Amino acid sequence: MITLATLFIIPVEKRHYGLQQDSLTTDYTGLLPQKVQAIERAKNRQQLVDLVKLANKEGKKLSIAGVQHSQGGHTYYKDAIVIDMKSFNRILEVNREKKQVTVEAGALISDVQTAVAKQGLAMKVTQSLPIFTVGGSLSVNGHGRDIRHGSMASTVAKMTIITPTGQLKELHRQTDKKEMSYILGGYGLFGIIIDVTFDVVDDTIYRYESQEMNVRNYENYLKKVLATPTIAMHYARLSVDPKHFLDEMYVMNYIDTAKKPLIEPLKEESLVHLSKWGLDVGRQGGKWETAFWAMQKKLFAYQSGKTITRNNAMRSESTFMEYTKLGSVEVLQEFFIPIDEFDEFVADLKKWIPQDDKNEEVKLHNITLRIVSNDESTALNYAKEPMIAFVLLIQHPTSDQGIEAAKSFIQQWTDAALLHRGTYYLPYYPYQTLAQFEAAYPHAKDSKKMKLLQDPNEVFYNNFYKNYLQQVNQ
């Protein structure tokens, strides 16, 4: 029997990745190592303007990097110059009266949360983890647990950019919405985001409300959630354990109490070793996956009725998720399905996904559900109507055979999503085919046309562009 003392000797690994000028550069998964020409640390605006102009003159390629949690080489390319934006990280202004915050693109979401919380404010939308940079989150058009304010792109009031020709330019939502739509969710291909002004809201206290249910009841239940204005945030988890595979689920709602919290420091990560131990139990598959599911249900039942501030609800723990097993990797994939297609989509998944994947090369460890509103703020739009996001945590070998097995598995998921009028998220490893990309994003032709119009020398370049957008037939 494991003891509390034993938990604290369980190692919590840290993945090693990032920008390397003398060796191979990788992003979070480490699956696409490449040698870049140079790494330029962002120092000031004029330096970046000069760099873009020089790249145009000399035929160089530029990629843009933050903390590099995208997983498909979006932040670098072979022999490119990589602009490291992490030092561009100041909080420029918090305006309590206008309910706005202005920050540089290299600032971490966690730092922005800390700054606005001191004024009794909170961001409208962030990803559920606060570990990303502002520029990175906007380049992938992140979304999270909030179900009332859309994606992060929809909360941008104005932004300063450097265009692909080296022009410093300020864009406003009211007058420059179309131009902004290519930069937001544009994966660093339409210029450098320098700073951003977000609309924010008052921080408030939420009450957890959790419920266990059969998956067949979720579609109708969700429609009631969306029709209940006091529910400000929502997410759910589907069981992937062999005994309850895609049959059981639990949901978590955040009920707005309309009470204002005390202004105090935001929560930090806690119980990392315990969470790490629980996840490692589930990673063993089979009966251990069943045991992990039982633990999760107890945790959610325990949380029900407790309270949390809006800011803290958008600061989930992440350290316990680190995975560094040699010869293996854990990756994310995400699929967006129209709400009315949920039941049919899950029924189709059950026809081909192994109920017990303990002995399979590709293992599905987790499915989290989030809600995304229809998005009118980005050109590469993943949600043209309200959608349910299926966020997958998948483990597979790093061998060529393991990657091919993962490609087959994920391409089947993608085909199923497309069959049900769905799409998939683009910040991840290039498992999908070009045909699947074009089917999910038929409007990518317009993005490619605008890319070549604004960036005729294709100065801003990365692996995502090479693998997908550049290959689209106009």
**What pLDDT, on the 0 to 100 scale, is given for residue 284?**
78
Task: Kindly state the helix (H) or strand (E) to which residue 154 belongs, with its residue range.
Answer: none
pLDDT at 445 over 80: yes
In a domain, 57, yes or no: no
Token digits of residue 258: 């309309």
In a domain, 38, yes or no: no
In a domain, 384, yes or no: yes
In a domain, 251, yes or no: yes
Boundary (domain end) residue, out of 183, 202, 221: 202
DSSP 80: P
pLDDT at 4 over 80: no
Do 96 and 170 lie in one domain? The reply is: yes
CA distances 34 to 21, 51, 71, 188, 405, Å, are: 10, 22, 13, 18, 23
Tell me how far apart the alpha carbons of residues 119 and 105 are, in angstroms, rounded to a whole number: 21
Token digits of residue 175: 């007058």
Give the pLDDT band of residue 26 (cuts 50, 70, 90): confident
Q: Across residues 2-20, what is the average pLDDT? A: 52
User: Amino acid identity of 16?
Assistant: H
Tell me how far apart the alpha carbons of residues 230 and 222 are, in angstroms, rounded to a whole number: 14
Token digits of residue 78: 């072979």
In a domain, 259, yes or no: yes
Do 273 and 186 lie in one domain? The reply is: no
**What pLDDT, on the 0 to 100 scale, is given for residue 45?**
96
At 48, phi and psi to the nearest 5? -70, -40
In a domain, 122, yes or no: yes
Tell me how far apart the alpha carbons of residues 71 and 277 are, in angstroms, rounded to a whole number: 25
pLDDT at 408 over 50: yes
Task: Kindly state the helix (H) or strand (E) to which residue 277 belongs, with its residue range.
Answer: helix 272-283
Q: Across residues 194-204, what is the average pLDDT? A: 97
Do 194 and 225 lie in one domain? The reply is: no
Do 240 and 369 lie in one domain? The reply is: yes
Token digits of residue 323: 């995975």
Lowest mean pLDDT segment, chosen from 209-223, 325-339, 421-435: 325-339
Pair 114, 73: CB distance under 8 Å: no
Do 329 and 189 lie in one domain? The reply is: no
**What pLDDT, on the 0 to 100 scale, is given for residue 267?**
73
Boundary (domain end) residue, out of 170, 202, 234: 202
Give the pLDDT band of residue 472 (cuts 50, 70, 90): very high
| Contact partners, residue 217, CB within 8 Å, separation at least 6 | none
**What pLDDT, on the 0 to 100 scale, is given for residue 7?**
45
Q: What is this structure's pTM?
A: 0.93
Tell me how far apart the alpha carbons of residues 113 and 116 are, in angstroms, rounded to a whole number: 5
In a domain, 195, yes or no: yes
End-to-end Cα spacing for the chain: 62
Do 171 and 220 lie in one domain? The reply is: no
How much of the chain, in percent, has pLDDT values that exceed 70? 91
At 322, phi and psi to the nearest 5? -55, 140
Do 317 and 352 lie in one domain? The reply is: yes
Tell me how far apart the alpha carbons of residues 136 and 110 are, in angstroms, rounded to a whole number: 13
**DSSP per residue over 217-272, as a string?**
GHHHHHHHHHT-TTEEEEEEEE--STTSTTTEEEEEEEEE--PPPP--PPP----H
Do 280 and 401 lie in one domain? The reply is: yes
Give the pLDDT band of residue 8 (cuts 50, 70, 90): very low
Q: Across residues 390-396, what is the average pLDDT? A: 94
Give the pLDDT band of residue 461 (cuts 50, 70, 90): very high
CA distances 40 to 11, 36, 51, 134, 240, Å, are: 34, 11, 9, 19, 43
At 111, phi and psi to the nearest 5? -70, -35
pLDDT at 1 over 50: no
Tell me how far apart the alpha carbons of residues 464 and 190 are, in angstroms, rounded to a whole number: 13
Lowest mean pLDDT segment, chosen from 189-203, 254-268, 361-375, 397-411: 254-268
At 461, phi and psi to the nearest 5? -145, 140
pLDDT at 18 over 80: no
Domain count, the chain: 2
Tell me how far apart the alpha carbons of residues 81 and 250 are, in angstroms, rounded to a whole number: 46
Pair 373, 151: CB distance under 8 Å: yes
Instruction: Give the domain range for residue 422.
Output: 205-428
In a domain, 378, yes or no: yes
User: Amino acid identity of 382?
Assistant: Y
Strands 328-338 and 387-397: antiparallel
Token digits of residue 265: 């420091």
Do 262 and 401 lie in one domain? The reply is: yes
Provide the CATH number for the domain around residue 141.
3.30.465.10
Do 372 and 411 lie in one domain? The reply is: yes
CA dihedral 432→289→237→6, nearest 10 degrees, is -110
Burial class of residue 359, CB neighbours in 10 A (0-12, 13-18, 19+): exposed
**What pLDDT, on the 0 to 100 scale, is given for residue 338?**
98
Q: Across residues 77-81, what is the average pLDDT? A: 94
User: pLDDT tens digits, residue range 276-325?
Assistant: 666 777 777 888 889 888 988 888 888 889 999 999 999 876 555 566 67
Nearest to 358, CA basis, from 281, 276, 294, 274: 281
pLDDT at 258 over 70: yes
Phi-psi region at 187: left, alpha or beta (left = phi > 0; alpha = psi -120 to 50): left
Do 210 and 312 lie in one domain? The reply is: yes
Pair 81, 38: CB distance under 8 Å: yes
Provide the CATH number for the domain around residue 358.
3.40.462
Phi-psi region at 99: left, alpha or beta (left = phi > 0; alpha = psi -120 to 50): left
How much of the chain, in percent, has pLDDT values that exceed 90? 76
**What pLDDT, on the 0 to 100 scale, is given for residue 321?**
59
Do 354 and 221 lie in one domain? The reply is: yes
**What pLDDT, on the 0 to 100 scale, is given for residue 185?**
97
Lowest mean pLDDT segment, chosen from 121-130, 240-249, 273-282: 273-282
